[in-house]
């Protein structure tokens, strides 16, 4: 069962983006996203006028909570996904503690061969074809970075001193956008990478720090 949705966290733009992701839509001349009201109406059994009311500007959104909950059912991150992320966050915290021991007692050199102790980039990317953003951590190598951002727009970035520091920042970011995260099937978002860690593009999000360090500020 999906958690209850707080409609006060949603505005008309977020609802529009959700409808575009789920039912289709297009960019308007002003650059905003416009859902296909007819398709939404057929799926939700409402009129196009009702769809327009749900997506009118303003906060909170005019869409009823029960309708929003029904749309998000089975589309929010699954419990297994969240558990996997928590395990990764716990592991990263263990690495931070080990690194802070110093003098080799928390030696992390076992990860050096994997490149995990090298500098990484934390990238917030926006998809070109859908109003979705995602976060990725990639070693700071031009070829790897270029491959990671292919087909997307870089919205924000941070430099992490290790992969572990980047993963910690990714986990904090995903928690911040938790109400607007989606877990979509490959059929729904064919070609979209990181489909378990995407969120609606206009969701409020703090700017990433310039630097993320495994130990210290």
User: Do 62 and 119 share a structural domain?
Assistant: no
Q: Are residues 34 and 139 in the same domain?
A: no
Q: Are residues 59 and 163 in the same domain?
A: no
20 and 96 in one domain? no
In a domain, 1, yes or no: no
72, 93, 124 - which closes a domain = 72
Q: What pLDDT, on the 0 to 100 scale, is given for residue 42?
A: 95
Report the chain's mean pLDDT, rounded to a whole number. Answer: 89
94-110 pLDDT, tens digit per residue, is 887 777 666 555 567 77
Number of domains in the chain: 2
3-state SS string for the chain: CCCCCCHHHCCHHHHHHHHHHHHCEEECCCCCEEECHHHHHHHHCCCHHHHHHHCCCCCCCCCCHHHHHHHHCCCCCCHHHHHHHHHHHHHHHHHHHHHHHCCCCCCCHHHHHHCCCCCEEEEEEEECCCCEEEEEEEECCHHHHHHHHCCEEEEEEEEECCHHHHHHHHHHHHHHCHHHEECCCCCCCCCCCCHHHEEECCCCCCCCCCEECCCCC
Is 134 in the same domain as 43? Answer: no
Q: 106 and 65: one domain?
A: no
The answer to whether the predicted template modeling score (pTM) of the entire model surpasses 0.85 is: yes
pLDDT tens digits along 22-52? 999 998 888 789 999 999 999 999 999 999 9
Domain end point (choices 51, 72, 93): 72
Residue 19 resides in a domain: yes
Range of the domain at 33: 7-72
Flag whether 64 is in a domain: yes
170: in domain: yes
1 band by pLDDT with thresholds 50, 70 and 90: very low
Mean pLDDT value across residues 70-78:
91
131 within some domain? yes
Is the pLDDT reported for residue 142 higher than 80? yes
User: Are residues 95 and 156 both part of a single domain?
Assistant: yes
Where among 17, 41, 72 does a domain terminate? Answer: 72
């Amino acid at each position: 069962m999906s958690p209850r949705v707080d409609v006060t966290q949603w505005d008309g733009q977020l609802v529009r983006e959700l409808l575009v992701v789920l039912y289709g839509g297009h960019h308007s001349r002003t650059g905003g996203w416009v859902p296909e009201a007819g398709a939404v109406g057929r799926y939700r059994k409402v009129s196009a006028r009702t769809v327009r009311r749900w997506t009118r500007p303003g906060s909170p959104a005019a869409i009823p909570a029960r309708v929003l909950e029904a749309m998000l059912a089975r589309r929010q991150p699954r419990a297994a996904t969240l558990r996997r992320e928590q395990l990764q966050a716990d592991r990263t915290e263990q690495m931070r503690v080990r690194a802070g021991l110093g003098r080799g007692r928390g030696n992390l050199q076992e990860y050096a061969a994997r490149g995990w102790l090298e500098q990484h980039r934390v990238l917030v990317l926006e998809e070109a074809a859908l109003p979705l953003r995602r976060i990725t951590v990639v070693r700071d190598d031009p070829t790897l970075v270029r491959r990671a951002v292919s087909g997307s727009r870089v919205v924000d970035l941070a430099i992490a001193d290790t992969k572990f520091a980047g993963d910690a920042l990714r986990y904090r970011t995903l928690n911040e956008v938790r109400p607007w995260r989606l877990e979509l099937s490959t059929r729904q978002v064919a070609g979209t990478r990181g489909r378990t860690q995407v969120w609606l593009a206009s969701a409020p999000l703090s700017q990433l720090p310039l630097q993320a360090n495994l130990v210290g500020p």
